[in-house]
């Protein structure tokens, strides 16, 4: 039975991840009435301290007990609103095409390698928290390098929103450190500092930096100088006394969002159950999948700062279809299915109504909902240009102990190949130095234990062998920027639906020659870094190790998903070739906005959350202007 909700809101938002939460907070605090629909369980949305604490402890226990501690392992994966799970990734072969093991229908030829979380707080519950900004040149990939498309906005236009995003997330970092290609103190405003001081770089970083800083490497006949810099990140550290901003507010008179000045010292935002917990990163070394003390930012911290009188949240409500007025093309309502309890097949259908509608349900879900509704797609770009960072990993043993498995996942990165003329030939990348040993590619240290034991090792010999090897493990990432390809896309197919009769996303995905060449290039650079550090290379690529396996010039490479799901409803300067304009509003429907990483026309080499959050503030500002005019 279809019910119409009686209330009409100023804005209806779908999804409580960081984009949806930024909007809910900004709009309600500007006096607008907001309805937020969240597909995940009510328990995850608890805001009274006791219930929030209990629910989060349940996540932590689930994580402890998970045999594979993958990003989604602590969180419920409910059949009514399934999450993508990396454990479901398998090779797509002639006899297994498409792969339908998990929520995604993977049509290939390569499986899409990333996951995200459908539930209160979204993927920020398990994000790593790295928050580098994009580079100015990233916004002009077509003009400068003949690749992909240009953005409809420049870096300079986005700058004030970057500052709002860094305030909202609570970024720790050192502006003066942010030096590299197309990257200097100039990228930040004069005198700008992050809210908190940089997260200390790990002992392992310091060991690597010693022989890597200013190392000359050769690549395709050119020489590059490697540098290592501290990574800005969304986890709590020591407040920077020079930081002078409170929160973002709507300046009604000026009709714009502004950061309020603050004369008091910045106060880190603590856990949702206790503001005094999590004021500093405590070194749990489990940022992905869960920060036990919530020193790492998550979107629930933002959501709970909404004006509660103006925010109505409906959980267990899965947006299924958007209705439009046939004459004006305006959105008239969003249909959602509210299921009764976890995994229930029983649900009620209702329609949410507002003046303006915002999809913030993740790049893949946003595209799926639009395709289901047959709207916003006059450009034929909905679902297309799905991107991720293709992460090539290299691993080896350092000659000395550097003690990984401690601290945040990564505290230092190599920015050297984030920008340059080479982007005409192959993808750029950022290289985080990883603090967690070989856990990602080969499931260390458990795999080291089992292989030593199965070889017959035991007792003191086993203990000293493991104590020799584990503290010397080094892992480097090469997060290669995937360029937009219209054939990498989300589609829907009536054959594949979930138990609420909603579509499951069908994914078509491949890695281009431009990407493969970057794997070759990155491996050449990795070899030179390893050689300079006396690292014994243990990197081994195979389809058995990871289903995302490609060959280039006779060499095999694996890549892994970065969890950076981007590009499925791109922003652009014309309605012919993009889905949203620079304010994140759909070209086709004047009261429908899309937010999240799906808007990004290209990916750059930075982790996309910060940029997406900046864009969400931009969207909030545009919505407020539209509501008031």
Partner 1 sequence: MNNHVVSSNTFLTISTYLTGYSEVELLGTGMLETYFNVFLEKFSPETLHYFFAEVDEILLESAGDEDQINAAIAARLIPDSAYDGIAKNIILVWYTGNWGSDVISTQSYQQGLMWDTAEAHPPGAKQPGYGSWANLPIRIPTK
Positions in 109-128 near partner 1 (CB under 8 A): none
Nearest distance from C-beta of residue 55 to partner 1, angstroms: 16
How long, in residues, is the chain? 629
Report the residue number, 51 or 66, with the smaller CB distance to partner 1: 66
Of the candidate spans 8-16, 34-42, 199-207, 353-361, the one that interacts with partner 1 by CB under 8 A turns out to be 199-207
From candidates 3, 54, 65, 256, binder to partner 1 by CB under 8 A: 65
Report the residue number, 253 or 460, with the smaller CB distance to partner 1: 460
Positions in 457-486 near partner 1 (CB under 8 A): 458-464, 466-467, 470-471
Nearest distance from C-beta of residue 433 to partner 1, angstroms: 12
Cβ-proximal residues to 161 (8 Å cutoff; 6+ apart), any chain: 257, 614, 615, 617, 618
d(CA 629, CA 617): 18
**Structure tokens of 562?**
């970065």
Nearest distance from C-beta of residue 530 to partner 1, angstroms: 21
Verify binding: residue 314, partner 1, rule CB under 8 A.
no
Nearest distance from C-beta of residue 466 to partner 1, angstroms: 4
Nearest distance from C-beta of residue 226 to partner 1, angstroms: 21
**Structure tokens of 619?**
């969207």
Verify binding: residue 87, partner 1, rule CB under 8 A.
no
Does residue 66 contact residue 73 with C-beta atoms inside 8 Å?
yes
Nearest distance from C-beta of residue 117 to partner 1, angstroms: 17
Cβ-proximal residues to 395 (8 Å cutoff; 6+ apart), any chain: 438, 441, 442, 473, 474, 475, 476, 537, 538, 539
Positions in 536-555 near partner 1 (CB under 8 A): none
Report the residue number, 98 or 278, with the smaller CB distance to partner 1: 278
10 Å CB burial of residue 433 (0-12, 13-18, 19+) is buried
Report the residue number, 20 or 170, with the smaller CB distance to partner 1: 170
Of the candidate spans 157-165, 399-407, 526-534, 578-586, the one that interacts with partner 1 by CB under 8 A turns out to be 399-407
Nearest distance from C-beta of residue 445 to partner 1, angstroms: 5
**Continuous segment of H or E residues that includes residue 23:** helix 18-29
Nearest distance from C-beta of residue 599 to partner 1, angstroms: 33
Nearest distance from C-beta of residue 450 to partner 1, angstroms: 6
From candidates 5, 29, 42, 66, binder to partner 1 by CB under 8 A: 66
From candidates 79, 406, 575, 625, binder to partner 1 by CB under 8 A: 406
Positions in 429-448 near partner 1 (CB under 8 A): 435-437, 445-446, 448
Does residue 344 contact residue 500 with C-beta atoms inside 8 Å?
no
Q: How many helices (H) and strands (E) does the chain have?
A: 12, 25
From candidates 51, 60, 185, 351, binder to partner 1 by CB under 8 A: 60
Report the residue number, 224 or 538, with the smaller CB distance to partner 1: 538
Which residue do the tokens 């690292």 mark?
Answer: 535
From candidates 51, 449, 532, 627, binder to partner 1 by CB under 8 A: 449
d(CA 250, CA 259): 9
Verify binding: residue 208, partner 1, rule CB under 8 A.
no
**Continuous segment of H or E residues that includes residue 516:** helix 513-532
Positions in 24-43 near partner 1 (CB under 8 A): none
10 Å CB burial of residue 360 (0-12, 13-18, 19+) is buried
Report the residue number, 220 or 443, with the smaller CB distance to partner 1: 443
d(CA 185, CA 546): 39
**Structure tokens of 587?**
């070209």
d(CA 513, CA 506): 23
d(CA 339, CA 582): 35
Does residue 577 contact residue 544 with C-beta atoms inside 8 Å?
no
d(CA 445, CA 475): 13
Which residue do the tokens 């928290």 mark?
Answer: 129
Nearest distance from C-beta of residue 191 to partner 1, angstroms: 26
d(CA 602, CA 511): 15
Does residue 134 contact residue 155 with C-beta atoms inside 8 Å?
yes
Report the residue number, 159 or 285, with the smaller CB distance to partner 1: 285
**Continuous segment of H or E residues that includes residue 229:** strand 229-230
* DSSP one-letter string for 207-254: HHHHHHTT-EEEETTEEEE---EEPPBSB--PBPTT--EEEEEEETTT
**Structure tokens of 387?**
């991107």
Verify binding: residue 67, partner 1, rule CB under 8 A.
yes
Gyration radius of the chain's alpha carbons:
23
From candidates 411, 431, 528, 578, binder to partner 1 by CB under 8 A: 411
Verify binding: residue 292, partner 1, rule CB under 8 A.
yes
From candidates 47, 203, 323, 549, binder to partner 1 by CB under 8 A: 203
Nearest distance from C-beta of residue 50 to partner 1, angstroms: 20
d(CA 93, CA 107): 10
CA distances from 588 to 2, 198, 379, 581 (A): 26, 43, 9, 10
Does residue 234 contact residue 297 with C-beta atoms inside 8 Å?
yes
Positions in 228-287 near partner 1 (CB under 8 A): 237, 280-286
Report the residue number, 88 or 182, with the smaller CB distance to partner 1: 88
# of chain residues touching partner 1 (CB under 8 A): 55
- Cis preceding-peptide flag for 154 (omega within 30 of 0): no
From candidates 249, 403, 549, 552, binder to partner 1 by CB under 8 A: 403
Report the residue number, 341 or 443, with the smaller CB distance to partner 1: 443
Of the candidate spans 289-297, 315-323, 424-432, 522-530, the one that interacts with partner 1 by CB under 8 A turns out to be 289-297
Nearest distance from C-beta of residue 442 to partner 1, angstroms: 14
Give 393's strand partners. Answer: 477
Does residue 234 contact residue 129 with C-beta atoms inside 8 Å?
yes
Report the residue number, 165 or 199, with the smaller CB distance to partner 1: 199
Nearest distance from C-beta of residue 232 to partner 1, angstroms: 17
Of the candidate spans 78-86, 159-167, 403-411, 503-511, the one that interacts with partner 1 by CB under 8 A turns out to be 403-411
From candidates 179, 453, 540, 543, binder to partner 1 by CB under 8 A: 453
CA distances from 50 to 216, 266, 373 (A): 55, 26, 40
Nearest distance from C-beta of residue 60 to partner 1, angstroms: 7
DSSP letter for 540, please. Answer: -
Binding site for partner 1 (CB under 8 A): 60-61, 63-69, 200-203, 206, 237, 280-286, 290, 292-293, 401, 403-408, 411, 435-437, 445-446, 448-450, 453-454, 456, 458-464, 466-467, 470-471
């Amino acid at each position: 039975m279809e019910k119409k909700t009686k209330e009409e809101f100023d804005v209806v938002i779908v999804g409580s991840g960081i984009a949806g939460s930024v909007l809910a907070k900004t709009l309600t605090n500007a006096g607008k009435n907001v309805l937020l629909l969240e597909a995940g369980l009510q328990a995850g949305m608890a805001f009274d301290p006791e219930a929030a604490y209990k629910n989060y402890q349940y996540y932590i226990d689930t994580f402890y007990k998970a045999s594979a501690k993958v990003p989604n392992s602590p969180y419920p994966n409910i059949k009514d609103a399934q999450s993508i799970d990396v454990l479901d990734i398998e090779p797509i072969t002639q006899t297994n095409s498409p792969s339908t093991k998990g929520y995604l229908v993977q049509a290939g030829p390569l499986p899409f390698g990333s996951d995200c979380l459908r539930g209160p707080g979204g993927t920020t519950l398990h994000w790593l928290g790295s928050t580098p900004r994009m580079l100015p040149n990233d916004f002009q990939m077509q003009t400068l390098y003949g690749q992909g498309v240009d953005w409809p906005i420049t870096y300079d236009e986005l700058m004030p929103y970057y500052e709002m995003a860094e305030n909202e997330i609570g970024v720790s970092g050192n502006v003066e450190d942010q030096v590299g290609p197309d990257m200097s103190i100039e990228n930040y405003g004069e005198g700008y500092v992050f809210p908190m001081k940089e997260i200390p770089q790990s002992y392992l970083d310091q060991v690597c930096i010693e022989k890597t800083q200013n190392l000359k490497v050769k690549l395709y006949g050119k020489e590059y100088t490697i540098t290592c810099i501290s990574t800005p990140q969304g986890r709590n550290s020591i407040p920077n006394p020079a930081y002078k901003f409170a929160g973002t507010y709507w300046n009604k008179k000026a009709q714009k969002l502004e950061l309020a000045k603050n004369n008091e010292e910045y106060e880190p935002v603590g856990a949702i159950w206790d503001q005094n917990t999590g004021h500093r990163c405590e070194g749990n070394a489990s940022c992905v999948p869960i920060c036990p003390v919530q020193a790492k930012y998550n979107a629930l911290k933002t959501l709970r700062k909404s004006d509660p009188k103006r925010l109505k949240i409906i959980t267990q409500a899965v947006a299924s279809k958007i209705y439009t007025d046939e004459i004006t093309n305006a959105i008239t309502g969003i249909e959602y299915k509210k299921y009764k309890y976890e995994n229930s097949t029983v649900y009620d259908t209702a329609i949410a109504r507002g003046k303006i509608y915002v999809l913030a349900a993740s790049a893949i879900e946003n595209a799926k909902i639009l395709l289901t509704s047959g709207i916003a797609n006059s450009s034929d770009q909905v679902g297309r240009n799905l991107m991720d960072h293709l992460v090539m990993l290299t691993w080896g043993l350092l000659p000395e102990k550097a003690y990984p498995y401690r601290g945040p996942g990564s505290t230092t990165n190599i920015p050297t190949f984030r920008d340059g003329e080479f982007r005409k030939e192959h993808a750029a990348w950022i290289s985080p130095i990883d603090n967690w040993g070989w856990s990602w590619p080969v499931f260390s240290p458990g795999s080291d234990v089992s292989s030593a034991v199965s070889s017959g090792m035991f007792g003191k010999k086993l203990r000293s062998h493991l104590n020799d090897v584990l503290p010397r493990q080094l892992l480097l990432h090469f997060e290669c920027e995937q360029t937009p390809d219209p054939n990498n896309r989300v589609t829907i197919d009536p054959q594949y639906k979930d138990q609420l009769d909603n579509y499951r996303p069908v994914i078509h995905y491949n890695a281009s020659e431009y990407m493969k060449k970057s794997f070759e290039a990155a491996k050449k650079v990795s070899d030179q870094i390893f050689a300079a550090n006396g690292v014994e290379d243990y990197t081994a690529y195979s389809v058995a190790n990871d289903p995302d396996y490609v060959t280039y010039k006779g060499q095999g490479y694996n890549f892994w998903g970065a969890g950076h799901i981007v590009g499925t409803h791109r922003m652009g300067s014309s309605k012919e070739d993009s889905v949203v304009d620079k304010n994140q509003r759909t070209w086709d429907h004047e009261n429908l906005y899309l937010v999240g990483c799906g808007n990004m026309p290209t990916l750059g080499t930075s982790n996309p959350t910060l940029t997406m959050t900046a864009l969400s503030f931009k969207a909030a500002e545009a919505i407020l202007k539209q509501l008031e005019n």
